[in-house]
Structure 1
Amino acid sequence: MSLNVETPVPAVLPDAEPLRLIDDTGHAVPARRRRGVELPDLETLKLLYRRMVVARRWDTQVSALTRQGRLATYPSALGQEACEMGTVVAMRESDWLFPTYRDSIAVMTRGVAPGQVLAGFRGDWHSGYDPNEHRTSIQSTPLATQALHAVGLATAAKLKGDSIATVTFLGDGASSEGDTHEAFNFAGVWQAPTVFVVQNNQFAISVPLSKQTRARTLADRAVGYGIPGFYVDGNDVAAVYAVVSAALERARNGEGPTIVECLTYRIEAHTNSDDPSRYRGTEDVAVWKGRDPIERLERYLVSEDALGDADREAIAAEAEELAAATRDAMNTEAVVDPLELFEHVYNEPRAALLEQRAFLEAELASHGEA
């Protein structure tokens, strides 16, 4: 069976300024400047606010546990909550998410239990959850490999006639990888129902965007693949949600892929082993803290009489309950069988692997209970 690939309509460059629906001060952007994108209703915005608050409390709790030595490493998404929650809340349960190592709050919001999300970071398993159960792929550590997987699954779904979309997160660093080019190009040619959400937090690990590309924006690249590209304020969850929702609808309707660049900032270090002071100044961090996505939406909701003290208390209680559950999960020692190292490696185990397994099994037996 082959796909029916039509000649694509030429894409156009996105605007030079990122799309905003709610500005830094918490005020709605006038309709004439929204470029035809509608502001989500208040109930949706309240849901997005709740998701961001809970996600941030969880993220800060995990960072604290990492500093205590409960996890080997953890890449925080502090400051990027609007990109992550605006995307996953826009998704249907039937859609598939292909996350990176930094997208733990998105994975958790997709319904994966805290202990399962963190199993890999603690070193228990490479992945602590069943991807099929949550329609969420394992978190990818190699840069951009998950983009190819997202396009592959989306193309298979299209061939089977399944009306789903896939979403993959990419960082600005991952956008420099060859796998990203291949994923964009394949998706454009085959009109795969994939939404690429590029979280441009401006530094990759330690390399500023100016040393990665001469392009005006990362979203500008979309035109070269015949794909629609959008440049969005990644700290405006309303704009992220609205643009990603429209892109997902296009994908499910057979109208192909979309690239959405979300301009944001990584407030914390790359991981707990990183020293960000070596490559960026504290002044920039302070500026971006002033553009906090949660505070921005909170000011808007309060101005609309849509968020009161009771709402905030209920959300804070939910966040603390999740933080406590996470502490409990990390206080429980994982039961790990060393022989599991040899499972799920090959469909038909090779002789060398069986030999290694037998050697380890004998070594473990010789030590008995010790």
Structure 2
Amino acid sequence: MYTLDDYHYHLPEALIAQTPATARDGSRLLHLKRNDGSVLHRQFNQIADLLHPSDVLIVNDTRVVPGRLYGRKKTGGKVELLILDYGEAEDRGQDDRTRVYRCLIKASKQSPPGTRIFFDEGLTAEVLAFSDGIYSVRFSSPAPFDDLLHRIGRMPLPPYIKRDDKGPDETDRMRYQTVYAREQGAIAAPTAGLHFTDDILACIREKGVTVTAVTLHVGYGTFVPVRVDDIREHRMHEEWFSISDATARIVNQAKAAGRRVVAVGTTSVRSLEYAARSDGRVAAGSGRCDLFIYPGYTFKIVDAMITNFHLPRSTLLMLVSAFAGRETMLEAYHTAVAEKYRFFSYGDAMLIE
């Protein structure tokens, strides 16, 4: 249960979704019941029918920043850069034309301090420092940086979604973003939320379900593999989160009344569980979440979750295994593979209750 290989499963490459479903709510939905491990095959557009009128549905309203930039060094060498801390750096009150961010840089040669990079529309950058694989980069923009970034930046799709040399396209800019995204700062989408449409959310609310949000800016750590054999030795990267007074009040009232809290995505799960107090109530506030959930963890807040299918040996697979049981979860994944569900960010969804 604590060995990395315990979370491996075979996934044919053809099942890794490269594009979203034609319609947002056109994905399939694997419905897993924890009490007996039974699996039902549904469509995501049936999700409102599967929720209870008394439920509280928690979404993550983080917004993905188009923070992948393609440029060149003075020598002409190509550079691909990814901004890692856009949301957090914004809180530090930076100038609207000069910004300093932590970044990943991909180039044929390392980029030492002093390296200058040139992008479209006159945007330039200078490497200030390098440590533990992360660069500190100062950007200088001829126009307000936010406006320029949203014109020339590309969506930071995960590495298993392949695009040509031009990178993500305009379809990705729209579809790799939830319809309720509000708070800018993520470098990856909270993908379980990609299936929701405004119409589905309206149906859910009409049924009586309360919908409220937390914010967790999905960070670089979501792509970092577990590199230890004993998963208990793994350390999670921190990610900024916020839970409002209103959301905390709604969740706490639901728990006190015995109503279900249904989390959309593992990011919502981690935010709620990180903020849980010893008395089983959620504390409002913001900070940095480094909670690693794996089998043996006792859930305090979340009663059901909607999630996508996760990579083998990933911390996210460990989280859902903690919720449903490792053997139950892996059996459900084997069923999904046999039934040719689509996997990962642009793939199909699960309801686990």
Q: Return the index of the structure with the highest Cα Rg.
A: 1
Q: Which has the higher strand share?
A: 2
TM-score, structure 2 normalization: 0.25
TM-score, structure 1 normalization: 0.24
Q: Which has the higher helix share?
A: 1
